[in-house]
Amino acid sequence: MPNISQRGVNMPASPIRKLVPLANKAKAKGIKVYHLNIGQPDLPTPQVAMESLKHVNRKVLEYSPSEGILSFRKKLVQYYAKFNIHVNVEDIIITTGGSEAVLFSFMACLDPGDEIIVPEPAYANYMAFAISSGAVIKTIPSHIEDGFALPSMDKFEALITPKTKAILICNPNNPTGYLYTQEEMHQIRDIVKKYDLFLFSDEVYREFCYTDTPNISSFHLKGIENNVVLVDSVSKRYSECGIRIGALITKNVQIRENVMKWCQARLSPPLIGQIIAEASLDTPESYMNEVYNEYIQRRDFLIEGLNRIPGCYSPLPMGAFYTVAKLPVDNADKFCAWCLSEFEYEGQTVMMAPASGFYTTPDIGQDQVRIAYVLNREDLAKALTVLEKALERYNQS
């Protein structure tokens, strides 16, 4: 039998999904599993989106343009303007989820062996996309003790080599929930400008910033307009993960022309998904406010509850709907697997994502987990009780 590709061997398993077989076995035994492992919102998709799906009235479900439906992109121009992000319709390319936007950014901007600097912990699939494109991720650890603040610029400069082509940030951050300050974003701008790097900026959690100061987008940074590639998605803001609609946005004409070659090779982004996403732009502000307030309440409830458990610590995340928490265990991978395979409390258990999968630096994050607060507060309360009982029993064994 021929050997499979080394690229496939090197591809990391998802830390978010790798424990699914154990969760399925637990459920088969009748155990209730509280899913804190994945950023799948439980809040309802906007009604305007659901109505658009019900009223699709087409005789043919045809290919859409490779760059996405024009009417959708025109409405996105208006949407971004509300956040002081000023783009033209030509700057926007619709993708199959934000994931494809990241992958196409790498494919269009980087050659095999080129290096991307990424603060860690970082969304695990960035590594998968880098392997797919032949690029190399170079990480700089951020630390739970200072809330996962951006590492100092001298740490970035120490990693820069002739192979360095880009910096990648996620703001607000997945998995930590950290929100970069204006000062930090300006520091990133300065180093991007100094070394003439690309800045890939994943901003899919834009709506979920829990501060009084406005979120600083990469598109607000002056002097690097042609260096920036913004990645976006409707998945989180409208609870529409399954329609797989994202966007790649850049002022750089050469990048767009390159990206379009990959867009044409995959033909078109999902037609039905775009119809739903376009309708979602008419979502009432009341829906967005309700979702925002719900996540703040869940965040405050979860963090207070976590920090009451002996030996646990989580900083207060200022964006997204995740936190990385430190647990009183030596190996969170083993603990998370144990919770699903050997533990239950009153017929319940918890599923979390071991944080080691969000780091590439060896031996960092071994006692940490990522928790997504995408459950209602009643379920979060039960999950916290189960987690506390699990830690007690695990540390007695």
CA distance 145 to 375: 26
- Same domain flag for 312 and 265: no
The CATH number covering residue 376 comes to 3.90.1150.10
Would you say residue 3 has pLDDT above 90? no
Residue 325: the pLDDT is 98
The model's confidence at residue 394, banded by pLDDT at 50, 70 and 90, is very high
Last residue of one domain, picked from the residues 226, 253, 280 = 280
Q: Is 67 part of any domain?
A: yes
- In a domain? residue 162: yes
pLDDT at 16: 67
Domain limits for position 126:
47-280
Report cis status (omega within 30 of 0) of the bond before 41: no
389 with 274, same domain? no
Same domain, 25 and 52: no
3-state DSSP assignment of residue 284: coil
Report d(CA 268, CA 262) in Å as an integer: 10
pLDDT tens digits for range 218-247: 999 999 999 999 999 999 999 999 999 999
- 160-196, pLDDT tens digit by residue? 999 999 999 999 999 999 999 999 999 999 999 999 9
Residue 1 in any domain: the answer is no
pLDDT tens digits for 94-106?
Answer: 999 999 999 999 9
Angle at 166 (CA atoms; ends 368, 121), nearest 5 degrees: 0
Question: Is there a single domain that holds both residue 214 and residue 150?
Answer: yes
Return the pLDDT at 68: 98
Peptide bond before residue 121 is cis, with ω within 30 degrees of 0: yes
Same-domain status, 173 and 207: yes
Round to whole Å and give the CA distance between 100 and 94.
9
Short-list 141, 216, 213, CA closest to 171: 216
Q: What is the pLDDT of residues 291-334, one digit of tens each?
A: 999 999 999 999 999 999 999 999 999 999 999 999 999 999 99
Considering 265, 280, 295, which residue would you say is the last residue of a domain? 280
- pTM: predicted TM-score of the whole model, two decimal places: 0.96
Asked whether residue 36 is assigned to any structural domain, the reply reads yes
Look at residues 280, 307, 339 and tell me which one is the last residue of a structural domain: 280
Q: pLDDT band for position 213 (50/70/90)?
A: confident
Residues 267 and 314 in one domain: no
Q: Per the domain annotation, does 263 fall within a domain?
A: yes
